[in-house]
A and B are shown apart, each in its own frame.
Chain A
């Protein structure tokens, strides 16, 4: 079946602009996660959704970052007033139910470059 998909695959923007990154999880997966992977680093947790609600947004770096999942499926990560330090690969993952024993399946990521 289809895996996790993310669009766009690449996004180049200018400092100060607004961007939206989209994630389509595996059908039927109630849990969705966003991670950020900076160059030379492993992914870092940003936010976790269980259904439509953000169950844990403790990894969001500041209030310029926001994510939604209005219908419990597709999620959008929104970044306002982008800064050069936001440049990274943004990874989305989904899992069936969201517990610690659940395997997280990752998408290919969106590479964001802020000029």
Chain B
């Protein structure tokens, strides 16, 4: 079965600074990988996804993620954080079906 680890429970970053959120997955084959963001009172919103091809994936809101098979990682990055990026971020892995397995999430706080 697939699983996801997000090592950082909480990250605080200054507005305008860069952000990197870590995600490590466990799966025997090539996984489908996703990053979702959850703001208070809002549903999970898909930021980006990786299925195959180029290992650097561009998403919405200026986010990108890089798939590294050798490290079983799919880290999320943003060059310059805005106050509106404060939220909880979830990495998820999918197999050859519809089930998504989510990590426990990383809460991002943005300070002025």
* A contact residues vs B (CB 8 Å cutoff): 3-4, 31, 33, 35, 40-45, 48, 56, 59, 91, 93, 95, 98-109
B51, A43: Cβ atoms closer than 8 Å: no
| Bound Cα distance from A92 to B42, whole angstroms | 12
- 18 pairs, CB–CB < 8 Å, chain A vs chain B: A35-B100, A42-B102, A42-B105, A43-B90, A43-B102, A44-B102, A56-B98, A56-B99, A59-B99, A91-B43, A100-B32, A100-B95, A104-B98, A105-B46, A106-B45, A107-B43, A108-B43, A109-B43
Q: B44-55 vs A: 1/0 string, CB under 8 Å? A: 111001010000
Q: Which residues of A contact B32 (CB under 8 A)?
A: 100-101
Q: Which residues of A contact B92 (CB under 8 A)?
A: 42
A98, B44: Cβ atoms closer than 8 Å: no
* B contact residues vs A (CB 8 Å cutoff): 4, 32, 36, 41-46, 49, 51, 90, 92, 94-105
Question: What distance in Å separates the Cβ of A98 from its nearest Cβ neighbour in chain B?
Answer: 5
One of B51, B98, B104, B105 near A33 (C-beta < 8 A): B98
B98, A43: Cβ atoms closer than 8 Å: no
| Bound Cα distance from A108 to B94, whole angstroms | 21
| Bound Cα distance from A44 to B105, whole angstroms | 12
